[in-house]
Amino acid sequence: MALINENFLKLPESYLFSDIKKKVEAFKHLHPDVNIISLGIGDVTRPIAPVVIEALHAAVDEMGDSKTFRGYGPEQGYDFLQKKIIENDYIHRGVDLAPDEIFISDGAKSDIGNIGDILSMQNRVAVTDPVYPVYIDTNVMGGRAGNIAKDGQHWDNIIYIPCTSENNFIPEPPSVRPDIIYLCYPNNPTGTTLSKNELEKWVNYALENETLILFDSAYEAYIHDEGIPHSIYEVKDAKRVAI
């Protein structure tokens, strides 16, 4: 008999953004004349840039010619794309990466879940609070979260690192040692960033405590301040402890 992963049954509700959408739709049904400004799940609002359209058309033409046709790509991504990512996103920031350290996937959200599949269920996880819900949900489903507290919000085997107005939404390394730390900067949902000195504090903490940092930099393109790192690898020795 096929058995299910019972950790899924621990999830108290569906995905947060699905719940938000249902509540918005219900409100719109009751108040059809109200103009709603949505700050929920993101979506594009402008047409795709011409340079992207040109590249897409060129790629389709390439696939329609037997001389340039490509079948399934390499499982970790085409080497020409890996090299371009290194060239345009890392080298000028002083980060030295090899092509086999770059993995082309369908996005950070999938990676956040998939990386957990290679990590032991015995690992203890730390997250900033508030936090992007995927970090919590994937560890609930992976069996690392423990049981949900009476408040219906927190899990007894997850370490929560407060980010509040009192500490300017800048987290401090926890006193209780975790095995895995999720950091997202620029942060979702607070919008805060970490300076290089602040990131160095986390890298040093991870080195001292043999902790793995999963660093989600999905919003790095919004950074314009030269003092704010786009990648945790801009910090010395971060490659030893961070993905």
Question: Does the structure show a pLDDT above 90 at 94?
Answer: yes
pLDDT at 184: 96
Model confidence pLDDT, tens digit, residues 51-91: 999 999 999 999 999 999 999 989 899 999 999 999 999 99
- pLDDT category at 107 given cuts 50, 70, 90 is confident
pTM attached to this predicted model: 0.86
Higher pLDDT residue, 147 or 40?
147
For residue 162, list its beta bridge partners. 129
Q: Are 115 and 243 in contact (CB under 8 A)?
A: yes
CA distance 185 to 158: 20
Tokens (6 digits) for 127: 């997250």
Q: Are 121 and 114 in contact (CB under 8 A)?
A: no
Judge residue 181's burial from the number of C-beta atoms within 10 Å of its C-beta, 0-12 exposed, 13-18 middle, 19 or more buried: buried
Tokens (6 digits) for 56: 């897409």
Percentage with pLDDT > 70 across the chain: 97
For residue 243, which of 57, 107, 103 has the smallest C-alpha distance? 103
pLDDT at 232: 97
Question: Does the structure show a pLDDT above 90 at 21?
Answer: no
pLDDT at 234: 96
Q: Which three-class secondary structure state does DSSP give residue 131?
A: coil
Enumerate residues 6+ apart whose C-beta is below 8 A from 49.
none
pLDDT at 40: 67
For residue 14, which of 105, 127, 133, 107 has the smallest C-alpha distance? 133
Model confidence pLDDT, tens digit, residues 180-193: 999 999 999 999 99
Q: Are strands 125-129 and 180-184 parallel, antiparallel or unpaired?
A: parallel
- Tell how far CA 64 is from the center of its chain: 35
Model confidence pLDDT, tens digit, residues 195-232: 999 999 999 999 999 999 999 999 999 999 988 999 99
Question: Does the structure show a pLDDT above 90 at 241?
Answer: yes
Question: Does the structure show a pLDDT above 70 at 15?
Answer: no
The residue-averaged pLDDT of 10-16 equals 73
Q: Are 177 and 212 in contact (CB under 8 A)?
A: no
Model confidence pLDDT, tens digit, residues 108-130: 888 888 899 999 999 999 999 99
Question: Is residue 194 left, alpha or beta, with left meaning phi > 0 and alpha meaning psi from -120 to 50?
Answer: beta
CA distance 71 to 143: 37
**Residue 182, H or E segment:** strand 180-184
For residue 243, which of 212, 198, 204, 209 has the smallest C-alpha distance? 212
What single letter denotes the amino acid at residue 92? Answer: H
| 106-240 classified as CATH 2.60.40.10 | no
Residue ranges per domain, the chain? Answer: 106-240
The residue-averaged pLDDT of 136-163 equals 91
Question: Does the structure show a pLDDT above 70 at 14?
Answer: no
Question: Does the structure show a pLDDT above 90 at 13?
Answer: no
